[in-house]
Amino acid sequence: MDGPDFQRLAEIEVDQVKPEHQGFTLTGQGPDQAEYRLDLHFELPLDARTRTVLGELLSHAELTISRRAPAAPLTALRARRDRAHRS
Range 49-56, long-range pairs (CB < 8 A, 24+ positions) = 51/19, 54/24, 55/17, 55/19, 55/24
**Would the pTM of this model clear 0.75, i.e. be above it?**
no
Q: Which pLDDT score, from 0 to 100, does residue 3 have?
A: 53
Question: Do the bridges between strand 6-20 and strand 62-68 make them parallel or antiparallel, or are there none, so unpaired?
Answer: antiparallel
Domain positions in the chain are 6-86
Cα–Cα nearest to 18, from 35, 33, 37, 34: 37
Comparison of pLDDT for 87 and 27, the residue scoring more: 27
Does residue 72 carry a pLDDT above 80?
no
pLDDT in tens, 27-64: 999 888 999 999 999 999 889 999 999 999 999 999 99
Cα–Cα nearest to 24, from 51, 44, 43: 51
Asked if residue 23 lies in contact with residue 58, where contact means CB atoms within 8 angstroms, the answer is no
